[in-house]
Structure 1
Amino acid sequence: LARQEMPNADMMLLGTYRGFELNIRFDSFKNEHQAVLRAELSYPVSLGDDARGNITRLDNAIDNFADRIADAENALQNLEQQKQAAEIEVAKPFAQEEELAEKSARLAELNALLNIDRDRSSSQDAPKETEKTESPAPRPSVLAALEEKVNQSEPVKPFRSYYDKDGDAR
């Protein structure tokens, strides 16, 4: 009866049922009316046309709380076991710790060797007045090479037919 007299889709308080606050709402996503049992959490129950069927649905939802609690306790126990196993794994020493230390030391040596040339060039950045500094060779210009290629005429190649297997023009 409350479902038929509902003015809009908002939740409406009906009263209490077996210690739970009982609300009614219209779920536009599922396109159905639902009774909502509320305590610490909300438990929606689909409503039908039969009043006795709706009461049976509400009773079944309340009776299923024991199963929900057992499932939640099992999930919590499983998570606790996983947490303990993870704590044991974290406490174990790293198996390749020595190898990591050796390779890290070798990497530091190689980096130092690679940086020697950079350190020498930076210390020699200021040339001495008595020494004659050589200018580095200029890098070839890509643009100049392209312009040179455009200005050159290519030799005309003789026509090669499909039948010329050895590349000779006939």
Structure 2
Amino acid sequence: MTTDEAVAEIGAVMKKAGLVWLSWNGQRAMPAWFATVDGAYVVLADRDGSAEQPLPGLADADAVQVVVPAKPATSRLASWTAAVRRLEPGTEEWTAAALVLRTERLNAAGLGNQLDRWQAQADVLVLEPTGAVTTTYDDTHPAVTPPETSATTRGKRPITLHKRARRRPKLS
């Protein structure tokens, strides 16, 4: 498959997605919403722990693995490799990308100062296809082990008020 064919295939599968899973530097895949700006795929990544999309370290990554999920969420439509490029705030390209991202952002708070907040607290990143489509439609469930946590699901049973009697009382 040539690079042009791969980019065309990536464009076809990305039209069907509203969310992708991104994995970089050996980390777990993280969900990310994106927008398409002039054929490029743009992602907003939080920089300072604000209320935007948390993708720590993505701006510093050279490449990212993009997984496009199929409509039944248990399968992947395609997986491809992208180069990451950070847009400089205030440039014409950044403004165009930010305006498109603004329209795609659901449940946004503070629309009046959103672009100013993004300039100070977030990175606008372009995911440029390298031409490497690693997998196409795969319907096997990509089960992974859950991350380590101190949370538990078993412990002391809760106290129950108004317990039902174990034996039925005699009515007569």
Q: Same fold (TM over 0.5)?
A: no
Q: Which has the larger radius of gyration?
A: 1
- Structure with bigger helix share is 1
TM-score (structure 1 length as normaliser): 0.19
TM-score (structure 2 length as normaliser): 0.19
Question: Whose relative contact order is higher, 1 or 2, with alpha carbons under 8 Å and at least 6 apart?
Answer: 2
- Structure with bigger strand share is 2
